[in-house]
């Protein structure tokens, strides 16, 4: 999955990746989902290369162009 650092759901995403601009795109693997009130699977927990899990709204994720990738959205 691909997403922008600005879409990470934390109090201060800049504190996690301080040297990266907000429009920096990261890639990672979905390792879980979280609900938001009555909305199920609203957030995805994404493990990035830096071996850190981040919480990102599912609607902000973009699939990578990898034909071998597993589709976790179905």
Residue 14: enclosing H or E segment and its boundaries?
helix 13-16
Question: Can you give the pLDDT at residue 15?
Answer: 56
Beta strands in the chain (DSSP E): 2-4, 25-36, 39-48, 52-57
Domain ranges of the chain: 2-60
Per-residue pLDDT of the chain (74 residues; tens, 9 = 90+): 788 878 877 645 555 555 667 787 878 889 999 888 888 888 988 887 665 677 888 998 988 886 554 555 54
pLDDT for position 29 = 87
Residue 12 has a pLDDT of 53
3-state secondary structure of 3: strand
Rounded to two decimals, what is the model's pTM? 0.49
């Amino acid at each position: 999955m691909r997403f922008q650092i600005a879409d990470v759901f934390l109090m201060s995403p800049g504190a996690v990746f301080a040297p990266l601009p907000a429009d920096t795109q990261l890639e990672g693997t979905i390792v879980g989902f979280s609900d938001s009130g009555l909305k199920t699977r609203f957030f995805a927990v994404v493990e990035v290369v830096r071996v850190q899990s981040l919480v990102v709204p599912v609607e902000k994720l973009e699939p990578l162009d990898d034909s071998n990738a597993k589709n976790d959205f179905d």
